[in-house]
């Protein structure tokens, strides 16, 4: 009986060792999330529907951009370049209006 009790005590001591080896956590200083500037995609939107951030332009702020998208099709050795021009305007805290126009397609 003593051997069983000693073995059980040893087993519990070994299993409880990692619990006592852990350190206490320091109190976290909660910082507000960083606000990153919204950048438009080549379709004109800044993230509410497509880009995973969900950030939009602030109210009455605007964004203009020019992109070049290139696709190479193996079939027929076709090289397609699209140059969209985008414009976005913030309408409020949670809405924006954007447009994209393909200026050159070749």
Give the pLDDT confidence score for residue 52 in this predicted structure: 55
Give the pLDDT confidence score for residue 46 in this predicted structure: 63
More confident position, 42 or 98? 98
Q: pTM higher than 0.75, yes or no?
A: no
How far, in Å, CA of 73 to CA of 80, rounded?
A: 8
How far, in Å, CA of 88 to CA of 57, rounded?
A: 8
Q: Are 63 and 87 in contact (CB under 8 A)?
A: yes
Asked if pLDDT for residue 27 goes beyond 60, the answer is yes
Half-sphere exposure of residue 29: CA atoms within 13 angstroms, side-chain side: 0
Tokens of 50: 């497509």
**Residue range 55-77: average pLDDT?**
83
Asked if pLDDT for residue 47 goes beyond 70, the answer is no
Tokens of 106: 């070749």
């Amino acid at each position: 009986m003593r051997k069983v009790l000693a073995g059980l005590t040893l087993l519990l001591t070994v299993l409880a060792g990692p619990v006592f080896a852990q350190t206490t956590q320091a109190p976290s200083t909660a910082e507000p999330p960083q606000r990153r500037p919204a950048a438009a995609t080549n379709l004109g939107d800044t993230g509410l529907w497509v880009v995973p951030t969900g950030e939009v332009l602030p109210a009455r702020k605007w964004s203009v951009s020019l992109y070049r998208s290139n696709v190479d099709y193996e079939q027929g050795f076709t090289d397609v370049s699209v140059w969209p021009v985008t414009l976005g305007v913030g309408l409020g805290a949670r809405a924006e209006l954007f447009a994209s126009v393909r200026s050159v397609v070749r």
